[in-house]
Amino acid sequence: MGKDIIADHARWPRLEDEIFKVSEECKRAIKEKGRDKIINSTLGTLIDDDGNLIAFNSVYDTLKNMDKKSIASYGAIEGDEAYLDLLVDKCFGPYKPKAYIKAVATAGGTGAVRHSLWTFLNQGDYAICPNWYWPAYLTMCEEFDREFKTYEFLDEDFNFNLEEFTKSLDFALEKRDRVVCIFNSPANNPTGFSIEDSMWDKILDVIKSRAVDGKYINILLDVAYIEFAGDGSQKKFFQKFSSLPENIITTVAYSMSKSYTAYGLRAGACIIISSNEDMANRAFDSMKHSNRANLSNITHAGMNILVDIENDEEMKKSYENELELNRLLLEKRAKVFVKKAKEIDLIHLPYFGGFFISIPCNNPKEVSKKLKEKNMYIVANKNGLRFAVCAVSEEKCEISPKLIKEAIDEVNR
Ligand code: PLP
């Protein structure tokens, strides 16, 4: 290819960070007009009603009390054993699949998504994903030269669109022998949608029927928001990933970012689930190699926090209380938003938990622009708007649906 100091495969235009851009504009507006006047629905972090980032006391007291040598030292390349064991238990709760389970520490859930795309796909193979998705999936597929194919997420009745998923899976497997099926559930970003247990049965039936000899399917469960997605029963579906055929391998991208309000500590894990011990071990070997090549190892303090909390009954209780309190905060905000939206016929995708609610609309970018005139800063994606219940107070959640509806009507009349 042409002369360039940047190698062919590494040549990308500057990544436009839409969320960061709107967020900066919002900050300026807050400075100018005052916090009370502005609705900041841009951020993907938990924010209290006064606009401050929520950082759990249990987590940061644990960090403050940590021996500096444990912070400064390297962790194991694959992650510390105690961390991985406790993380696996925490992730699955009482619903651990009956299978061979291995885990590799990763820099947040991002690292686990990255490892799955790298380990289970060759160049040109497909990752398939619903069309309401976290944009970093696409960025990673571009980086590693994997194809990224989306399908309509929900059907007309707002159920998971099994038919479109099946078509997409068939397309990918007709073209190639390997596929990664990305599912960001429960509490999907950007919609708050969760796939029900009975739908999981249907999805797995489809996947099993396509797992013929010579085809390899990775089910990637991105559960970044799982701890905010229900009272614990949202983890039941994990049991379904027991005893799957050997050419189906499941990975779970677990993240400490949201569940421990530890976004910047960059800790998580890729949990591998397989009915074949050798395959689980070889996936682990591949990912450990990737760790060495890409990260060396992850933040030791992040791993230690999880271990220290899980091993201290009192701290564990106080962490669980904080988590529950904030889950309920989100639930309350979302309830208010959903109720108001219903009253004025503002259509949004079904919300079951997590940080966001999505409003489908035409011309979302223009609508988002129009909303700035109404002092609301909100992220637009291809299909609509992403309202951040994680960042907007209950009081403002109550007035937001009306503002959004007005802006949609004004832009699309
Ligand atoms: N998956 C989804 C859907 C997300 O929204 C995020 C973070 O925003 C992540 C994964 C990974 O986050 P992290 O790498 O911080 O764990």
Q: Residue 224, CB half-sphere, CA atoms under 13 Å: how many?
A: 31
What is the position in ligand 1's atom list of the atom closest to the CA of 133? 3
| d(CA 110, ligand 1 centre) in Å | 6
Pocket of ligand 1 (CB under 6 A): 44, 108-110, 134, 184, 189, 222, 224, 255, 257, 263, 268
- Looking at residue 17, its pLDDT comes to 79
What is the position in ligand 1's atom list of the atom closest to the CA of 107? 14
What is the position in ligand 1's atom list of the atom closest to the CA of 266? 15
- Distances in whole angstroms, Cα of residue 10 to Cα of each of 5, 7, 128, 137: 10, 5, 23, 17
| d(CA 219, ligand 1 centre) in Å | 17
Residue tagged 């009192």 (tokens): 314
| d(CA 44, ligand 1 centre) in Å | 9
Helix (H) or strand (E) holding 102: strand 100-106
Q: Which of 262, 363, 286, 257 is nearest to 120 (CA)?
A: 286
What is the position in ligand 1's atom list of the atom closest to the CA of 268? 16
pLDDT in tens, 372-383: 999 999 999 999
pLDDT in tens, 53-101: 999 999 999 999 999 999 999 999 999 999 999 999 999 999 999 999 9
ipTM of the complex as predicted: 0.99
Surface-to-core class of residue 62, CB atoms within 10 Å of its CB (0-12 exposed, 13-18 middle, 19+ buried) = buried
- Looking at residue 1, its pLDDT comes to 57
Domains, the chain, ordered by start: 8-56+315-412 (3.90.1150.10), 74-311 (3.40.640.10)
- C-beta of residue 378 within 8 angstroms of C-beta of residue 42: yes
Q: How far apart are CA 403 and CA 409, in angstroms?
A: 10
| d(CA 389, ligand 1 centre) in Å | 16
Per-chain mean pLDDT for the chain: 96
pTM of the entire structure?
0.97
Beta bridge partners of 181: 128, 219
**Residues 96, 55, 64: CA angle, nearest 5 degrees:** 95
pLDDT band at 18 (very low <50, low <70, confident <90, very high): confident
Beta bridge partners of 221: 183, 252
Give the rounded percent of residues in the chain with a pLDDT score beyond 90. 96
